[in-house]
Structure 1
Amino acid sequence: MPFKYVFLSIFLTFCIHANPSAQSLRGQVLDNHRLTPVQNANIREGASMSPIQVDSGGYFEIDASAMPPVLHLTIGSPAHKTLEIDVFKEDWGIGIQTFYLLTVGELEEMVHESLQLDDDSDGDLSGDVYSLLASSTNPLMRAVGFEFSAFRTKLRGLGNAFDQLGFNGFLLNDLDYGRIPFSYFSGLSVITRASRQYQSYRDDDSDFGSAGVAQWITADPSLYRSEFSVNAALSNRNYEHRFGLHYASGIHKNGAAWTAGVSRRWSGESFVPGAFYDAWGAYLGYAKPLGAGHLVKAMFVYAPVLRGKSSPATQEVFDLSGDLYYNAYWGYQLGKKRNSREVQTSAPLATFNLDLQISNNARLELGVMGTYAHRSDGQLDWNNAPDPRPDYYQKLPSAIEDITTAERVRQRWTSDPSVSQIDWVGLYNANYLNVRTIQNVGGDSTLSLTGTQAVYFISQRISDTREFEHFGKLKWQNKRHRLQMLYRLEWSHSDNHLRLDDLLGADFALDVEDFIDDPAKQHPDISQMNRVVREGDQFGYHYLVRSGRYSLYPAYQYLGRHLDVSLGGYWQYNEFQREGKLQNAIFPTSFGKSSTEGSSGLGAKVLATWKINGRNYLQANMALQQLPNRFEQTFVNPEWRGDVFTNLAKTGIALGDLSYYYRSPGLKWQLSAFAVAIDDQTVSKNFYLDDQLEQGVSSELADGSLVNAFYTGLDERHYGIEGSIELKLNSRLRVQAAGILGDYFYNSRPTLWLFDKFSTSSTQHTIYQRNYYVHGTAQQALSLGLRIELPGGGFATLTGNYLNKHFIELNPLRRIPEAVGELDPDSELFSNIIAQEELPQALYLNLFAIKYFRWLGQSFSASLSVNNLLDRRGLKSGGFEQYRFDYETRDPRTFPSKYYHFQGINYYLSLTARF
């Protein structure tokens, strides 16, 4: 049977005058590309735990008299991505509806399901045309998530601050910073298989949405058929090995189901020298019906990760080392590579969901979630000692005036790891030789201590966060009208401090801040002057943050025969309070509880889809949103003070897009035009401010200092068109393409506020940033691929990708009058200071293949992903201007830009067995 759409289709034959309550509803489940029956499909309606039986031909029947007016079907299989779809019972008719499932291999490529009419005609205008909201796919998400991901390309140029991540109805973006905790599910692809992704406030009943991409994961033990699977993989990317086990009980006679699994991904060293990776994962889930349409579900997820970081570098350092993946964070210790920046994350997550069928038309969903997130960021620190970083600019040949000495250093970079990498032996020796006697230990004049004091040590920035979330969602539907009210209550409590991890052979360290010149003010805690700290002790700073986020989301949806309309509202209130645990001598607000700061946000959206016929759709989408402020935008310097930034404004977003979709058996294409305005952003930064800039303003700032900085009034504009096309050449071969033509730029001259971290000094600058490009994403991107179906099951794709207009991050203090002084605006130096660097164009090939087969009566699948097939090395995947600048010589080459490089040819080979 020919089918109309490629990704997911649904075949409707209407019998307008039939009485649906007096008939069976018949359907069939097929593999999307092979068109073969999915014999082991698992079908469930609504919250029922009773599976709908599927025969060997993929056929099933449902008793219409026992079904509600709108059927919510969940269809999946061990080898396929789960499909969720609402179908009107009155429109089912006497024909057979065909449901097409994507294979798990396509999930690995981040392809998302699509549900289309399987019809040879242009669409019968006498019946329903199924909603594009439930049936369309966005190939651009696949291209951005898989093909362009190494270059950090973002849909519509919007950063992660505008994205969402949800799990079983819970919003996971953290309360203080809005960050997305992807590490929660590290390596647990089995439970993230059933996920929905929406772009730019598209409809989803889990939340109002966001300007960027919202991904909502549904992990339900009842969706997995009874099976035991084993997965093993080899790779030369961030990790080398992967091993995973998965078990699902299937649905027992009492309706209960449970699932469990473990995995590990690890590498002693990745393709970046000195970087390592060790990630574990485990999950346990249970679901059971309570009768009368009620359902209870519980999930536990735990995925701790330990990794060694990699560094960016300047072009000079890449040239000196001869390594495009040079990493300054490691050095040899006792003959082994040791990374100075280890990051550890762990966040056990537990969720509990209760679904209650209140009536035939109304349903109440409730949920509670708890998590304890730990993050520690290690770094090499020093006190009153030379900078130990091997790529510190004063150690490089370009900074050495004597030609002979510079050449000697250049030669040693190629032959001596103690020069080109961290000299761990030298650091230990410096500590061994630093014998000191400390008087007045802890502020006690009678106490003294003699021993080796650490001038080099490893510290850990610790953040321990407990979060609790509760949501309630009331859904009511009467034929074509849907109403929903969602509330969400979130609380978090975070403990933030420094911990001394390794003294590098010394006996102790002294808890003082050497950026502070006055010895009387160097102590983070004046109640313990000259405090001696040892391994495992807290030091430096210590503060708590208590946060709350409260949200309401009312929504209405009308699903007509040829017009769908969705309306949504949004209200959110954020509140947070800092409590300092140490009293320093500089800021009176450092100790104790601050005032509770609050901020509210509002939003509204409308989405209309004109379903012209079964092949043509026109969709208009508009949204307005005002975001409440977050903790990191509100407090000036929470590590040392409890003061609030008073020049804070709320970020406003206005978004609109117009899209046209065409679907036919052999051709599918879509084209969208979009415009996004983001105004009054407040963005916080921390960096080292060079001396000379603030002469005459403040002695503390003029001498060079660590600063806390805030952009205010930062406006962006994101305009563009995006589209995709898929042409079916024959039953096995098709061409796929996706492209973005964007124009993302800054539309204001923001103010940059500078606050000295260790004094009350502050200043501000107007940043001449209007019309500079938004950094961190390619603004032009094209993906063109050829896909072939393999005999016996499976497919292969070969994709060429092109990226252009990719700009690096700006140093704002090079776009102020003080940076150019009296220079001639037509001079080359003037241009070099203010020009924005564009990365070279990128052109590369990716290959993906997956094959299904049976051996010894069991099911297997093998997949291979090869990126950068032509091994094009030297492509820069990202970069930034250093926030340092020489205001005396005004030469930007003193502190040149730093870059990351695209990995050469790399692979991921995976084998899965199902029993």
Structure 2
Amino acid sequence: MIKKLSLISLFTLLPASFYFAQTTVYAYVKDAAGKPIENAEIDLAQSGNDVTADKIGYFQFVDMQPGRYLITIFKPTFEPKIVEFDVTADEKRKDLGVISLNPSPTDAGVLVIDDSAGDNDEGGSSMQPTIGLLSSGRDVFQSVTAFELGAYWFRPRGIENRYEDILFNGVSMSKNDDGRVDFSNWGGLNDVTRYPFENVDNITPSEYTFGNLGGVVYYNTRASSYRKQTSLAYSFTNRSYFHRAMATYSSGLTKNGWAFTFSGSRRWADDGVIDGTYQDSYAYFAAIEKQFSSRHAINFTAFGAPTYRASNSPNTQETYDLMGKNYNAYWGWQDGEKRNSRIRRVFEPVFMLTDYLKIGENSNWNNTISYQFGRDGRSRLDWFHAADPNPTYYRKLPGYMYSGFMDADSDGSTDITDAEQAQFNAYVNQWQTNPNVSQIDWNSLYSANILNRYDMNGNEQGAVYTIVEDVNKDKTLNFASHFDTKLASNWKLNLNFNYQNLKSDNFREMKDLLGALYANDLNAFNNDAPNDADNPGRRIMEGDRTQYSYDLLRNTYALNASTEVDFPKWNVMASVFSSYSESQREGKFRNPLYADSKGKSDIYDAFDAGIKGRVTYKIDGRNFIVYNGALFSLAPTLNEIFINPRATNLITPGVENQIVNSNDLSYILRGQILKLRLGAYHTTMNNATEISRYYVDISSETADQGNALVAEVLSGINKTYKGLELGAEVKITPTLSANAVASYGDYRITNNPTVYTTDDDSVERTGSPVREWGTAQLKDYKVAGTPQKAYSFGLRYNSTKFWWLGASANYLQDQFLDFSALNKTAALYTNPLTGDNYNGVTPEQIARLTAQQKFEDQFMLNANAGKTFVYGKYRMGVSVSVNNILNNRDYVTGGFEQGRNVNFPESLADANRTYSYFGPKLWYDRGRTFFANVYLRF
């Protein structure tokens, strides 16, 4: 009976196998020179089994049923590649062609691991486009600018972080307050963010979003897409941290349809290269997927990175000359330990639920709902009716004493006496040897508070020095929907919809009373008026809100459609989008100076739209011409909409949507010996609004226009970014290659924008918080924050024994100082009492005082080496990279002009001093740095 049933079952099931289309999928894995890659491992995400390429690089999967599949190809010393493909019912055999693997930039390049640079130290690739142009993988220009030049704060095409898009499962990671991506939200999760699913550069259209100017990086955190393995790693470095430990586990897809991926890390340093910059940061990641069938799966993702990090101060050149390039003014000794006053504590975890649905033969619909919440706090010293505790306050620096001696000479002599010189030298020695002078004197701050606890009558008094923390607590709900379908074998359509709801709670919190009984919630700059008129006389204790408290609310809706059509010689992709946003402020404190400080503001609404396109002409299998174009608008960020949100609902004067127009044209060669990309680009950004906040002195000997902390607005600023890019890689021998990169840019302001300021002093004087200062003469000023020209040449040896050695020479040009705009207006040289120019004003002097500072060109040398070991299923790798081998400490990575002196007499006097009181504040490169890493995978 059993035999009969077995035979019946066998003959029943055998024909059934023919009712379902079963397809064999195959391909060849080769390197960039076309040489077969033996023993490459191929993971099929929808299966728990792997296959291995044979000696000619051939692999295959058999009995594949109709559906969408994703494979990942791995090989030591090569960059893994993700390929996605569809199997249809009428296919018996599917040829994926040749899959080319590039040398791994993770091994070859400089790892950019500075937290301020986002801890984004790994590159990646994704699927190949249909006509063979590998634009989704990093070419040599992208790789070098990211790993070599990126270590020195070089920005391709001058584009800021605000104009980049990073998505997790369709959800944008850009912050609403300033539009920037905060990499610290997933810092340390390198194993799970190593290889993006999509990585398009600049204005190239994306399948998952409209994108911006800085490209799109799309991460798919589907648990089954991660390679089945366990990975352990340890890194030792002298950059923003000293130690990093990581562990990652991926189960692969189990037989019952589950997949799990977990990762965790810690990065820490008791004291960094820059004095007083300690750090302790953790990170976690979890992805859990359940596949109900080959057509439907649900994935849950959670990740976060609790971070505790001390900051370092920008300093004037005088301070660096006194104390060296590692000096940091933010810390001082307390009980034998370094204590930093500027600590950032951030933890903003993200939770996502994604539904993957296959519809019919050619369509996919993925939906993600996510929620992010948490706290981002940044501490600082605060004082009330007391001296500035900052050791670099200009009156505390030796240069102030020196200038005082010079000014005291009644005979106009430019010399100082021997006694004065001795006094000056003694003070310089104090600065260099006594940490109570050159650093924060925590003991004196505690003593001042303790002595001030009671007045002469025994009544309690508030603190004179405190530590406060500016806190941002965002609650963000996102919904992202992506639909794609093949309308024909060569025609694809993508639809994306996004909704975001933000409630951002912003306030200042009392962090540490520093020995005081309590703190007063009073505004010392407004005659000790209460910060909250509804609660006068409040005593502030640790954990209480003080000075300001408000919510920012925003709803955003965005729709994007893109389509791609493939022809034998042409590939055309077009993308359009529209979005609508509503922004509002709700004040919690009633500021006595602003009638609209409490309650909800009017809604600020903005509508955006845009179009992008890419046209690729395939000259032959190796030569391509590519054009990209984009025209779109950008709504202002919350920081741009509300000029002074801590105090008022006031909308920024002249704020408008930015209008962006960008075009580029490239010639690309993909040969076996030579790979080359030569391109030109031109971008304009019009109607931008920029806001900066600083202390300004606009009083003079003849009239007092007020000294105050102002918010400075540049309204209607226009910029242009244009340049040439060259990236070339030559295969000298099968194991030796050379690369050369050149980026020649010109980024400048093209008009004279209007300048506004707002401050409390103006409210008291005129009844209005806004002052208009006319236009700032900024036309042809250069965009700061990045070298505008950069060049790199590198050599790399890849041994067939799985070890490599590389070196690169890098040259950086045209780095400019960021400027203050108010002193570029007529207010600088106009006497407010008479309305005429100050005596002695000449065009030459104005040009001298307003000239933008250009820094010297710099040369950097880098090197890296590593080896991979394979022992059966165990793989171990060791690598080390060294940046700035020559220990060049003259490279300025960033800085800004102090805007304090907005009157000609004082500005001229400061420019003529041996030691300027208000010279530029600068950050310097850390010098020689290294990164050593060892990992074990099995």
Aligned partner of residue 589 in structure 2, secondary structure: coil
Aligned to 2:578: 571
| Alignment deviations for residues 445-502 of structure 1 (CA, whole Å, 9 cap, x no partner) | xxx9933521111000011101110011221102111112211001111111111111
Aligned to 2:781: 772
- Quote how far apart the aligned CAs of 1:52 are: 6.1
Aligned to 1:497: 507
Alignment of 1:129-168 (within 5 A): 129-134=131-136, 137-168=138-169
Matched, 1:903 2:905: no
Aligned to 2:177: 176
Once residues 622 and 628 of structure 1 are traced to their aligned partners in structure 2, the CA distance between those partners, rounded to angstroms, is 20
Aligned to 1:121: none
Aligned to 1:800: 809
Which amino acid in the other structure matches residue 802 of structure 1? Answer: Y
Aligned to 1:867: 883
Does the CA-based 8 Å contact 1:257-1:286 persist in structure 2?
Answer: yes
Does the CA-based 8 Å contact 2:827-2:902 persist in structure 1?
Answer: no
| Alignment deviations for residues 339-364 of structure 1 (CA, whole Å, 9 cap, x no partner) | 01000111111111111111112211
Aligned to 1:649: 656
Q: In the superposition, relative to structure 1, how do residues 112 and 855 fare at CA in structure 2: closer, same or farther (>3 Å)?
A: closer
Aligned to 2:384: 383
| Alignment deviations for residues 282-309 of structure 1 (CA, whole Å, 9 cap, x no partner) | 1111122221412211111011110100
Which amino acid in the other structure matches residue 619 of structure 1? Answer: V
Query: Higher mean Cα deviation, 729-738 or 646-655?
Result: 646-655
Once residues 708 and 893 of structure 2 are traced to their aligned partners in structure 1, the CA distance between those partners, rounded to angstroms, is 31
Query: Higher mean Cα deviation, 816-825 or 580-589?
Result: 816-825
| Alignment deviations for residues 647-675 of structure 1 (CA, whole Å, 9 cap, x no partner) | 22210000001000011110010100000
Aligned to 1:708: 711
Q: 1:749 aligns with which of 748, 752, 758?
A: 752
Does the CA-based 8 Å contact 2:331-2:440 persist in structure 1?
Answer: yes
Does the CA-based 8 Å contact 1:846-1:868 persist in structure 2?
Answer: yes
Aligned to 2:12: none
Q: In the superposition, relative to structure 1, how do residues 651 and 65 fare at CA in structure 2: closer, same or farther (>3 Å)?
A: same
- Quote how far apart the aligned CAs of 1:800 are: 0.4
- Quote how far apart the aligned CAs of 1:219 are: 2.2
Q: In the superposition, relative to structure 1, how do residues 826 and 355 fare at CA in structure 2: closer, same or farther (>3 Å)?
A: same
Q: 1:639 aligns with which of 633, 636, 646?
A: 646
Query: Higher mean Cα deviation, 192-201 or 558-567?
Result: 192-201
Does the CA-based 8 Å contact 2:784-2:815 persist in structure 1?
Answer: yes
Once residues 86 and 702 of structure 2 are traced to their aligned partners in structure 1, the CA distance between those partners, rounded to angstroms, is 72
| Alignment deviations for residues 583-604 of structure 1 (CA, whole Å, 9 cap, x no partner) | 1221121111222221111101
Aligned partner of residue 907 in structure 2, secondary structure: coil
- Quote how far apart the aligned CAs of 1:213 are: 3.0
Q: In the superposition, relative to structure 1, how do residues 675 and 39 fare at CA in structure 2: closer, same or farther (>3 Å)?
A: closer
Once residues 494 and 872 of structure 2 are traced to their aligned partners in structure 1, the CA distance between those partners, rounded to angstroms, is 51
Matched, 1:414 2:432: yes
- Quote how far apart the aligned CAs of 1:96 are: 5.6
Alignment of 1:481-492 (within 5 A): 481-492=491-502
Once residues 308 and 146 of structure 2 are traced to their aligned partners in structure 1, the CA distance between those partners, rounded to angstroms, is 24
Aligned to 1:685: 692
Aligned partner of residue 633 in structure 1, secondary structure: helix
- Quote how far apart the aligned CAs of 1:829 are: 4.0
Does the CA-based 8 Å contact 1:164-1:173 persist in structure 2?
Answer: yes
Does the CA-based 8 Å contact 1:885-1:894 persist in structure 2?
Answer: no
Matched, 1:338 2:348: no
Q: In the superposition, relative to structure 1, how do residues 272 and 65 fare at CA in structure 2: closer, same or farther (>3 Å)?
A: closer
- Quote how far apart the aligned CAs of 1:377 are: 0.3
Once residues 115 and 541 of structure 1 are traced to their aligned partners in structure 2, the CA distance between those partners, rounded to angstroms, is 49
Aligned to 1:61: 60
Q: In the superposition, relative to structure 1, how do residues 398 and 829 fare at CA in structure 2: closer, same or farther (>3 Å)?
A: farther
Aligned to 1:460: 469
Alignment of 1:282-361 (within 5 A): 282-321=284-323, 323-361=324-362
Aligned length: 863
Once residues 505 and 270 of structure 1 are traced to their aligned partners in structure 2, the CA distance between those partners, rounded to angstroms, is 28
Once residues 291 and 857 of structure 1 are traced to their aligned partners in structure 2, the CA distance between those partners, rounded to angstroms, is 30
Aligned to 2:731: 728
- Quote how far apart the aligned CAs of 1:132 are: 4.9
Once residues 48 and 877 of structure 2 are traced to their aligned partners in structure 1, the CA distance between those partners, rounded to angstroms, is 29
| Alignment deviations for residues 398-421 of structure 1 (CA, whole Å, 9 cap, x no partner) | 222136354432221112111111
Aligned to 2:118: none
Aligned to 1:256: 258
Q: In the superposition, relative to structure 1, how do residues 694 and 207 fare at CA in structure 2: closer, same or farther (>3 Å)?
A: farther
Which amino acid in the other structure matches residue 562 of structure 1? Answer: K
Once residues 158 and 825 of structure 1 are traced to their aligned partners in structure 2, the CA distance between those partners, rounded to angstroms, is 37
Q: In the superposition, relative to structure 1, how do residues 225 and 658 fare at CA in structure 2: closer, same or farther (>3 Å)?
A: closer
Gaps of 5+ in 2: 1-20, 112-120, 406-415, 830-836
Matched, 1:221 2:198: no
- Quote how far apart the aligned CAs of 1:706 are: 1.1
Aligned partner of residue 387 in structure 1, secondary structure: coil
Q: In the superposition, relative to structure 1, how do residues 829 and 151 fare at CA in structure 2: closer, same or farther (>3 Å)?
A: farther
Does the CA-based 8 Å contact 2:82-2:126 persist in structure 1?
Answer: no
Aligned partner of residue 249 in structure 2, secondary structure: strand
| Alignment deviations for residues 56-91 of structure 1 (CA, whole Å, 9 cap, x no partner) | 6564324588446x8765445798654233568899
Q: 2:874 aligns with which of 845, 858, 862?
A: 858
* Length-normalised TM-score, structure 1: 0.90
Aligned partner of residue 41 in structure 1, secondary structure: strand
Matched, 1:838 2:848: no
Which amino acid in the other structure matches residue 100 of structure 1? Answer: L
- Quote how far apart the aligned CAs of 1:757 are: 3.9
Alignment of 1:537-548 (within 5 A): 537-548=544-555
Does the CA-based 8 Å contact 2:876-2:937 persist in structure 1?
Answer: yes
Aligned to 2:206: 204
Aligned to 1:393: 394
Which amino acid in the other structure matches residue 564 of structure 1? Answer: N
* Length-normalised TM-score, structure 2: 0.87
Aligned to 2:519: 509
Once residues 197 and 110 of structure 1 are traced to their aligned partners in structure 2, the CA distance between those partners, rounded to angstroms, is 12
Query: Higher mean Cα deviation, 897-906 or 751-760?
Result: 751-760
Q: Percent identity?
A: 27
Does the CA-based 8 Å contact 2:82-2:127 persist in structure 1?
Answer: no
Aligned partner of residue 778 in structure 2, secondary structure: coil
Does the CA-based 8 Å contact 1:784-1:801 persist in structure 2?
Answer: yes
| Alignment deviations for residues 812-870 of structure 1 (CA, whole Å, 9 cap, x no partner) | 12312232445778776434312111111110111122210136973200110100112
Aligned partner of residue 676 in structure 1, secondary structure: strand
Aligned to 1:762: 770
- Quote how far apart the aligned CAs of 1:645 are: 2.4
| Alignment deviations for residues 311-350 of structure 1 (CA, whole Å, 9 cap, x no partner) | 11111111111x1121000111122111010001111111
Does the CA-based 8 Å contact 2:22-2:92 persist in structure 1?
Answer: no
Please report the RMSD computed on the Cα atoms of aligned residues, expressed in angstroms: 2.7
Does the CA-based 8 Å contact 1:274-1:308 persist in structure 2?
Answer: yes
Once residues 870 and 410 of structure 1 are traced to their aligned partners in structure 2, the CA distance between those partners, rounded to angstroms, is 29
Once residues 607 and 95 of structure 1 are traced to their aligned partners in structure 2, the CA distance between those partners, rounded to angstroms, is 24
Aligned partner of residue 435 in structure 1, secondary structure: coil
Does the CA-based 8 Å contact 1:78-1:224 persist in structure 2?
Answer: no
Matched, 1:889 2:896: no
Which amino acid in the other structure matches residue 867 of structure 1? Answer: N
Matched, 1:580 2:587: yes
Does the CA-based 8 Å contact 1:715-1:746 persist in structure 2?
Answer: yes
- Quote how far apart the aligned CAs of 1:704 are: 0.2
Aligned to 1:443: none
Does the CA-based 8 Å contact 1:76-1:101 persist in structure 2?
Answer: no
Alignment of 1:435-450 (within 5 A): 435-436=453-454, 450=459
Once residues 536 and 791 of structure 2 are traced to their aligned partners in structure 1, the CA distance between those partners, rounded to angstroms, is 60
Once residues 63 and 626 of structure 2 are traced to their aligned partners in structure 1, the CA distance between those partners, rounded to angstroms, is 32
Q: In the superposition, relative to structure 1, how do residues 790 and 182 fare at CA in structure 2: closer, same or farther (>3 Å)?
A: same
Aligned to 2:612: 605
Aligned to 1:15: none
Aligned partner of residue 827 in structure 2, secondary structure: helix
